[in-house]
Amino acid sequence: MIRRPTALVLGAGASRPYRFPTARELLSNVRRRISERDFRVRLHNADFTDPETSGLRDALASPVGSVDELLELPVHAQLVAVGKAAIAATLFHYERPGDLLPDARHDDWYEYLFRRMKEGASTLREFLQNRVVFVTFNYDRSLEHFFFTALQSTYGAKPQEIAEAMSKHRLPIVHVYGSLGALPTMGGQLPYGVDSNITGLRLKEAAASIHIAGEPGAQAGIDAAQKALMSRERVCFLGFGYRAANVKRLELATTLVKETHVFGSAYDLLEGERRDVGRLFRAVGHPIALSGPDTDTLKALREFPVLSEFDLTDL
């Protein structure tokens, strides 16, 4: 079990083992698909006009790093709604339940984490005594679906028991910028792995569950993330891109206690980029220990003492 107060902060790379796109890959996918007739028809059926889809297509010619970055710019405020619908319409293609089954992926860190959380927990009640929270910048619902299926198969837990645990923050998963919508077990309408070509009202509802920074609904997710990080002994960033705006919104200087140990995966980051990440965290008073550029999410979680039962004051 994880008895030390721990937070895992997830970026797009954390969902990569389950075949979800990175932020850059999502941008490329939306850029390509917004010019396809069938994709535009789906957006039109969700009440978006041709000028809106054309406007999004033209704006996506900008050399930005993600769709989110583009939509955050005030000049594109009128494209936020159609942009969120384009994100949702693209991401539904990646929600594949089979990719979350045991032994489906060689770099499955969900399974590794679950096994660590299950150690010494012979019942669901004991499992829920784990002291780990998840703060995710991702829109996908793979983590929720994984826990629902894993807890059902392992402990014979009923969906309503798991839903109650999540709603009462005994298994907290905070989506900073929203998600594709709550799962049916949590009161939502769209099951995980729903028809990837959904359109009309259902697509519009899913898009409305996504929040772009600057929108009225976005601050609630940021506040919830900050609250989740408070009083954590250990914080580990996994698959995170370390975009300065996202780090700053967490307000680590005030949300983390002085003694908090901070770790982070740094897959494919070059030395200059790694130094900048280090400076970013030192500036808020919390130096970060980064894994190597060839270390994936699973290996980073195993390499760092994030889940260790031992005290880390000697580090």
d(CA 301, CA 236): 8
Question: Would you list the DSSP string of 261-281?
Answer: EEEE--TT--HHHHHHHHHHH
Is 196 inside any structural domain? yes
* 160 and 193 part of one domain: no
Mean pLDDT over all residues of the chain? 94
Quick one: 223 and 302 in the same domain?
yes
Give the dihedral sign, CA 188/194/196/202. Answer: negative
In this structure, the answer to whether residues 157 and 42 fall within a common structural domain is no
Tell me the pLDDT band of 315, cut-offs 50, 70 and 90.
Answer: low
Residue 275: CATH number of its domain = 3.40.50
pLDDT digits over 100-125, tens only? 999 888 999 999 999 999 999 999 99
Q: Which domain holds residue 25?
A: 20-95+187-210
Q: For 136-164, write each residue's pLDDT tens digit.
A: 999 999 999 999 999 999 999 999 999 99
In 3D space, the residue among 64, 79, 58 whose CA is nearest the CA of residue 23 turns out to be 64
299 and 288 belong to one structural domain? yes
Q: Are 26 and 150 in contact (CB under 8 A)?
A: no
Tell whether 123 and 138 lie within a shared domain: yes
Pick the closest to residue 231 from 39, 6, 57 (CA basis): 6
- pLDDT tens track for 286-311: 999 999 999 999 999 999 999 999 98
My answer on whether 112 and 143 are in the same domain is yes
Same domain, 38 and 159: no
Q: Tell me the CA end-to-end span of the chain in Å, nearest whole number.
A: 22
Cβ within 8 Å of residue 259, ≥6 positions away: 233, 313
Same domain, 164 and 295: yes
**C-alpha 227 chain-centroid distance:** 17
Q: Are residues 162 and 24 in the same domain?
A: no
pTM of the predicted model as reported, rounded to 2 decimal places: 0.96
Residues 190-212 pLDDT 10s: 999 988 788 888 999 999 999 99
On whether both 163 and 29 belong to a single domain, the answer is no
- What lies within 8 Å, CB to CB, of 224 at 6+ separation is 174, 176
Instruction: List, for residues 23-36, the tens digit of each pLDDT value.
Output: 999 999 999 999 99
Q: Do residues 203 and 156 both lie within one domain? A: no
Residue 154 lies in a domain: yes
Number of domains in the chain: 2
